[in-house]
Amino acid sequence: MQNSNAMRDSLVKAFAEEYMQKLFYFCLKKTGSNEEAEELTQDVAINVLEALNKGTIPTSFSAWVWQIARNRYAVWAEKKHRRNESVTGSDIGDYELTDEKESVLDEMLHREQMSLLRRELAFIKSEYRDLLVAYYIEDKSVREIADKLALSISAVQQRLHRARILLKDGMDMAREFGKRSYNPENITFSASGNINYERPWPLVSRSISKNILLQASNNPSTLEELSVELGIALPYMEEDVRLLYEGTLLEKCGDKYITNFFIWDKASRLETYNIFRSGAKERSRMLREFMEDSLEKVRGLCTGGTHLDDNTIRWWLLMNTVDTLIAVLSKNEAPPKRSNGEEWGFVGYEDVELPEKTAAGHNGRGNGNCCFWTYQFGDYSLWTQCGEPEMECVPFFAEIMRKKRKVSSFTETEQKLWEKIDGKYAHADREGNVIPDVVVMTENSMEKLTKMLKKHKNCKALLENGTDAYTRVESLLRRCNHKILHEQLDYYVHSAMFDMRMMALHDLVESGYLELPENPETSSLGMYLYLK
């Protein structure tokens, strides 16, 4: 009953706001008199409101209102005819003004129905939309349509029948567009694995693509449902959906599409943050103890690193230690294999204001023999720092460190490469020896460092701390994710655990154990060269 009353009140409001003026002009056109038009308009309105109050809920409100208007005009005209016939013997037709064009009623009905038609054509799949446009808008015959589409006449008739049903259902529907139709949301992404220039980044460069992915995240949706939710006509949606599907960012479930990578919505991001932060202080304390106990040994493992100050080593050692723990804890950190055979992972993050900045990147440049790694810190203006080295500089830098080459030995071409390294990642002493200003580690020294961590007194407690966080986040993701993503949960938990980097960094900066650089734009903290 409550729903029925609400619907009635809504229709009464719509009638008062949208139809009264139109009805008056309709009546004025029919009667030719302001006074009689007002009387007829009032009569129509009374009939409409009485029917609504008795519980009538029309399927198509507009058509219903105008049918009542036409009926009441017929009654008015008949009465007018009877009154005047006794005096003049004139015919009823004398009292209906002649229109050169369509009657006002027909014109209004046509305009409203065409408006609905155009609206619904925007939400019907192209296979039906093209038929309807050809038949209703372009006024083509069934035979002409059949010839154009290379179909039989019966096939066109069957499709038109189905299209008409879809069209009528839509025209009878009071569509309510979703929030994203007027308030598109934004998400950021991270990727890992063998990324190429075609995907995934170009596929998510537009707001429409981002919001398609947001709407379809854990929510299998038809094209029509996506169209209504985003308030975008299907002709403008279909291409984006097709590209996202072919680019393996959407997957099909029957006639519905679902985002096949995890997007952290606001609620899950906040809950995950709280899980990691709840054990962060204790985790940071144990990490600091390991670093204090191991600092001099780590310095000895660094190639040419005896001159490095404690702060430089600590910044790198903290990040490396957290990453080592995550690698040990992760069940499967490998990026998911895509349906097209590619192997790369993709994660979305809905914008949300967290209590602290947790973003931290880790980029590598090099070849099979060496790699220059850069930790990017999402706070303290340290995301870019002095910048990553150019690709051709990395093998040359590695060769300098392996062979302990002096500046005087550089060729003219090598000298140009050195100019891009000097003052950023290394410098030369008075004798021309190259002194690294970033940590340089060999494969052997990295293995020794991992063994040091595993033997440390805090290792077991650190792993227990991390395991608890891992288990809780995995449970959260399983609970809030569609089953299509359950096989990939380990990858997403692994990705989420990198928030531990910045939490530990914040804790140790606040405690004074780590010092911020005087000039972030020239800093190379957290950068290191890895030699195989």
Q: Locate tokens 């602290």: which residue? A: 356
Residue 205: the pLDDT is 87
pTM metric for this prediction: 0.65
Task: Tell me: do 213 and 72 sit in the same domain.
Answer: no
Task: Tell me: do 372 and 304 sit in the same domain.
Answer: yes
Task: Tell me: do 479 and 330 sit in the same domain.
Answer: yes
Q: Does residue 145 form part of some domain?
A: yes
Q: Does residue 466 form part of some domain?
A: yes
Distance of CA 20 to the CA centre of its chain: 43
Task: Tell me: do 217 and 300 sit in the same domain.
Answer: no
Task: Tell me: do 130 and 213 sit in the same domain.
Answer: no
Distance CA 76, CA 93 (A): 13
Distance CA 530, CA 440 (A): 6
Element (H, E) at 114: helix 104-121
Rg (CA), the chain: 36
Q: Does residue 118 form part of some domain?
A: no
Q: Last residue of a domain, which of 57, 84, 109? A: 109
Token pair for residue 89? 């013997």
Residue 101: the pLDDT is 36
Element (H, E) at 273: helix 266-278
Is-contact 495 190, C-beta < 8 A? yes
Task: Tell me: do 80 and 146 sit in the same domain.
Answer: no
Task: Tell me: do 10 and 62 sit in the same domain.
Answer: yes
Task: Tell me: do 161 and 210 sit in the same domain.
Answer: no
Q: Does residue 114 form part of some domain?
A: no
Residue 116: the pLDDT is 60
DSSP annotation of 245: H
| Beta-carbon count within 10 A of 464 CB | 11
Here the CATH number for the domain that contains residue 155 is 1.10.10.10
Distance CA 400, CA 394 (A): 10
**If we measure between CA atoms, which residue out of 487, 502, 527 comes closest to residue 380?**
502
Query: β-strands 426-428, 360-366: how paired?
Result: unpaired
Q: Does residue 342 form part of some domain?
A: no
Token pair for residue 411? 């060729």
Q: Does residue 154 form part of some domain?
A: yes
Residue 98: the pLDDT is 36
Q: Does residue 432 form part of some domain?
A: yes
Averaged pLDDT, groups of 10, the chain, 532 residues long: 70 82 76 78 87 82 84 82 51 36 43 59 73 76 87 86 72 56 74 80 88 91 86 80 93 92 90 96 98 95 87 98 94 82 89 92 92 97 96 97 96 97 96 96 96 97 96 93 89 93 98 97 97 94
| Beta-carbon count within 10 A of 190 CB | 13
Here the CATH number for the domain that contains residue 12 is 1.10.1740
Task: Tell me: do 244 and 389 sit in the same domain.
Answer: no
Token pair for residue 276? 């990691």
Q: Last residue of a domain, which of 261, 279, 313? A: 261
- The DSSP-derived string for 220-241 is -B-HHHHHHHHT--HHHHHHHH
Total domains, the chain: 4
What's the domain range around 62? 2-109
Task: Tell me: do 308 and 216 sit in the same domain.
Answer: no
Distance of CA 489 to the CA centre of its chain: 19
Distance CA 351, CA 439 (A): 34
Q: Last residue of a domain, which of 133, 155, 171? A: 171
Cα→Cα distances 29→90, 429, 512, Å: 20, 98, 85
Distance CA 332, CA 207 (A): 32
Task: Tell me: do 318 and 392 sit in the same domain.
Answer: yes
Q: Does residue 256 form part of some domain?
A: yes
Residue 109: the pLDDT is 41
Task: Tell me: do 159 and 36 sit in the same domain.
Answer: no
Give bridge partners of residue 191 from the DSSP assignment.
346
